[in-house]
Structure 1
Amino acid sequence: MNKKIYIIGSGFSALSASCYLAKAGYEVIVLEKNDSLGGRARQYKKDGFTFDIGPSWYWMPDVFERFFADFGKKPSDYYTLDKLNPGYEVYFGENSSLKIASDLKEIYQLFEEEETGSAKHLKTFLDSAKSNYDTAIKDLVYQPGVSPLELVNTTTVARVSQFFSTIRKQVRKNIKSEKLIKILEFPVLFLGAKPNNTPAFYNFMNYADFGLGTWHPRGGMYTVIEGMVSLAKSLGVTFKTNCNVEKIITDTSKNVTGLLVNGKEIKTNLVLSGADYHHTETLLDKSARQYSETYWDKKTFAPSSLLFYVGFDKKIENVSHHTLFFDTDFDAHAKEIYDEPQWPTDPLFYANFTSITDKTSAPAGKEAGFFLVPLAPGIEDTEALREAYFHKIMDRFEALTNQKVKKHVLFKKSFCVNDFKSEYNSYKGNAYGMANTLLQTAFLRPKIKSSKIKNLYFTGQLTVPGPGVPPALISGKIASELIFKNQL
């Protein structure tokens, strides 16, 4: 049995897989093209400010606990979590916002104050969401996506209708307040699809939101990466940065025989790629690729993003750690992402200010601001467009939160479509992977095990179970277990 494996990339899924493989006795070497580990979850530091470049939400803490427990550890062995209260705040107009508390009773009260009778409907909705969450976590998301039969058991059969209804239909059946509807439809943004295209079963994300809460790792999301790297190293994993994999070498029998890294050939016959799936296949000869360019072009991808990391010379007022700005038309913005790709006319946007909770992320009396505008992947990206949209969202931010902030900007750094392509080889510069629509769920996603090349495997957000940090941890475990099975 081959017990040496090279892993391409060092994001959450790759790190997860590296730990499971090393625990099983494999010699694991992780190759990262950039100069720091973490994939999309890297850090940016400047003048005493610290920003998470990528993921900024810590949801589904039970998945992290399960990951570390598999190695006899706990998250608290590596980082400290604080539960946010409020979990987040949503602006709907000038001086009009709702704060989502960490306590479910307070959330019911908030709903009832906004719309009489809605608390009762919310409870019924969340009961369904919790049941779906338990089913998803126990029965579905840890499946390898090999067969449709993975979805068939007594629990899922009873829920089959939820795969043919949508989040939008389910939410709007009883709730009429547009504000409450937006709050309930918002979590599917993490799945990278429109509410009217996302199966109702995925309401389990609402339980992840209201039931499990929103957390913050002190020091930022990168401390989770550091914890996973520490665990991996303790298990014997070797990490090599600045190692760009340029080709996956195969023989005439379609076996992996090596990797071309920085112009030099490394011999290996077992490879797991945590890099972008489409990009990884471009490292193969065309005859060895499973999926054509037409296949990828027809898939529904989650959005890309325009990101700004901003240092302010003062504390920002009237915002929470996570603050969402839903004062414009969600459907119009979604149309400009999915249906008619273009720069959005009036974009929704998101901001987070970790320094409200975590004093280590900005100097005293100053604020670290992270701003995100969802965009269609593959659209034109220029400095002029980035600058125009910075002023567009900052003008709205000032009006909505009733304060002047642009004159207090010490510096800003942007990250957009072109950067997702150059930094992560991301297909069309997408930020979150492939959307979890009905026809892109479970066994209908790109496969973990290559059907054309022996001993080539994939992990990450383009394969099962899908986009997001917790699914990435799960994807790493699934991939490693498939490798164990096929290497016996």
Structure 2
Amino acid sequence: MRKTIQIIGSGFSSLAAACYLAQQGNNVTVYEKNSTIGGRARQFKENGFTFDMGPSWYWMPDVFERFFQDFNKKPSDYYELIKLNPAYRVYFGINDFISIYDNLEDIKSTFESIEKGSGEKLQNFINQAKSNYDIAIKDLVYRPGVSPLELITPQTALKLNQFFSNVSSDIRKQFKNERLIQILEFPVLFLGAKPTKTPSFYNFMNYADFGLGTWHPKTGMFDVIRGIEKLALELGVTIKTNSSIEKIIVENNTATGIVINGEILKADIVLSGADYQHTETLLEKEHQMYSEKYWESRVFAPSSLLFFVGFDKKIENISHHALFFDVDFNQHAADIYDNPKWPEAPLFYANFPSKTDQTAAPNGMESGFFLIPLAPGIEDTEKLREEYFEKIITRFEQLTQQKIKNNIIFKRAFCKNDFVSDYNAYKGNAYGMANTLMQTAFLRPKIKSKKVKNLYFTGQLTVPGPGVPPALISGKLAAELIQKSFRS
């Protein structure tokens, strides 16, 4: 029987869920509070420059392929992919960087040239990471987090010890060079926690990095949003922007609709891909599953200070993606997780999409995206934003041996306060809830509300966790639970 399903938010998880639910013949409408779709993956254009506002790494291409395959489609039906070579560079000092190339053999050679014997060790490490990837990404993450028994399989039983050790200690047992260690620890930062707090099993992220490579949609990550939007529209989904949800209507402990601009919109099912904590504030207290004390006790992934910058010239000595690890990695991590404060000397990331995509900037110019990870809930002022831009741009000039400050013709900052106002993000988090041992799978907030019938959640605060591929999977899991409820 055709159901009316109202979906809150238009990020990756919401759009994915909308596609699956429409495929089943339901009447599906997506409501987005902002003027454009995409959630954190929005895009904006200014002065001839194009900027993706959020995700910029296209990893785990197999997850995207699996998503489109569910609709008898391919990613190439909707967007074009370019494999980056180098995938990225990591800077440790003035003109001192390590390039990570687009294949494991070249990466092994790079490691071997820095630490004798590390090439073979890396091969063994990636073999194990691939084994974990095959278990996690091809199986476990497609389970809805309903029961702890989901994690118990013949394969995971053999790897049980990996849930009680951590990524950092495993890497340090095998590699001695601090620069190589930091490169291997970097991918798990996408999961939102320190490498010392991330279970060893999550080294599958290293296979995603070195084994599957780093890709770039031809004109940016928003290509993927546009592609999924096109698929959704083909399936009959309706998408409405400038539609901020004011309330979720509950009658007899059942979600029966939503309120937008004072208008009641009836629903058989309400699915929220908006921030989980914010969504629960749209309910009366007795219908909320998680208290403020609960949210306060969770380990959240970082917030971020972002800068979108247009330069009137080409930038030299830089790759598409670049990580700046010329300062103390552990101290910055402590400033996020242990003693939350603005870091004295921040690590940062820079992305120059116009190195790959000529449409991202006017001819002869460059578009740049800079990111500093920060503790969620931190103070955010214009003065601090400017102070930290000056810090990183000065270091950028020193490390890449060029002057660029006077070539800035456009700059826009985005930080914690914007994450709150634009996305209703709890404490202004950028990536959701970290994937620590006690916040994995069935220990994460539930997809299906236990207090309100016909109310569901999707996205980075529920199963399986932060990141774009997990968001696509989360949309599928939510849709499957909804479809299962129709049959019960």
Q: Shared fold (TM-score greater than 0.5)?
A: yes
1:326 aligns with 2:314: no
Report if the CA contact (8 A) 2:354-2:360 is conserved. yes
Alignment correspondent of 1:202: 202
1:29 aligns with 2:29: yes
Report if the CA contact (8 A) 1:2-1:487 is conserved. no
1:380 aligns with 2:379: yes
Compute the displacement of 1:72 (Å): 0.8
Compute the displacement of 1:138 (Å): 2.3
208-217 vs 130-139, which moves further: 130-139
Compute the displacement of 1:2 (Å): 5.9
1:304 aligns with 2:284: no
1:290 aligns with 2:273: no
Q: Which amino acid aligns with 2:12?
A: F
Where 1:410 maps in the other structure, the secondary structure is strand
Alignment of 1:66-465 (within 5 A): 66-251=66-251, 253-465=252-464
Q: Which amino acid aligns with 1:479?
A: A
Compute the displacement of 1:481 (Å): 0.3
Compute the displacement of 1:269 (Å): 3.0
Tell me the distance in 1 between the aligned counterparts of 2:142 and 2:261: 35
Where 2:228 maps in the other structure, the secondary structure is helix
Report if the CA contact (8 A) 2:2-2:25 is conserved. no
Map Cα deviations across residues 45-93 of structure 1 (whole Å, 9 max, x no partner). 0111100001000000000000001101111111100000000000011
Q: Superposition RMSD on alpha carbons, in Å?
A: 0.7
Report if the CA contact (8 A) 1:188-1:205 is conserved. yes
Map Cα deviations across residues 406-432 of structure 1 (whole Å, 9 max, x no partner). 011001000000000000000000000
Q: Which amino acid aligns with 1:247?
A: K
Tell me the distance in 1 between the aligned counterparts of 2:237 and 2:256: 21
Tell me the distance in 2 between the aligned counterparts of 1:487 and 1:345: 54
Tell me the distance in 2 between the aligned counterparts of 1:138 and 1:412: 41
Tell me the distance in 1 between the aligned counterparts of 2:187 and 2:21: 32
Q: Can you give the 5+ residue segments of structure 2 that lack an aligned partner in the other structure?
A: none
Q: Percent identity?
A: 67
Compute the displacement of 1:249 (Å): 1.0
Tell me the distance in 1 between the aligned counterparts of 2:460 and 2:47: 33
Q: Which amino acid aligns with 2:163?
A: F
Tell me the distance in 1 between the aligned counterparts of 2:283 and 2:375: 28
Compute the displacement of 1:139 (Å): 2.1
Using the size of structure 1 for normalisation, the TM-score is 0.99
Q: Can you give the 5+ residue segments of structure 1 that lack an aligned partner in the other structure?
A: none
Compute the displacement of 1:227 (Å): 0.3
Where 1:106 maps in the other structure, the secondary structure is helix
Map Cα deviations across residues 230-284 of structure 1 (whole Å, 9 max, x no partner). 0000000000111110111112x20112211122211223100000000000000
Report if the CA contact (8 A) 1:51-1:370 is conserved. yes
Tell me the distance in 1 between the aligned counterparts of 2:2 and 2:289: 24
Q: Which amino acid aligns with 1:398?
A: E
1:475 aligns with 2:470: no
Report if the CA contact (8 A) 1:191-1:436 is conserved. yes
Q: Which amino acid aligns with 1:449?
A: K
Tell me the distance in 1 between the aligned counterparts of 2:39 and 2:210: 29
Tell me the distance in 2 between the aligned counterparts of 1:138 and 1:40: 26
59-68 vs 258-267, which moves further: 258-267
Tell me the distance in 2 between the aligned counterparts of 1:139 and 1:81: 25
Report if the CA contact (8 A) 2:147-2:442 is conserved. yes
Q: Stretches of 4+ moved more than 4 A in 1? A: none
Report if the CA contact (8 A) 1:2-1:270 is conserved. no
| Paired residue total | 487
Tell me the distance in 1 between the aligned counterparts of 2:60 and 2:380: 33
Using the size of structure 2 for normalisation, the TM-score is 0.99
Map Cα deviations across residues 300-344 of structure 1 (whole Å, 9 max, x no partner). 000000000000000001110000000011110011101111111
Q: Which amino acid aligns with 1:428?
A: K
Where 1:457 maps in the other structure, the secondary structure is strand
Q: Which amino acid aligns with 2:464?
A: P
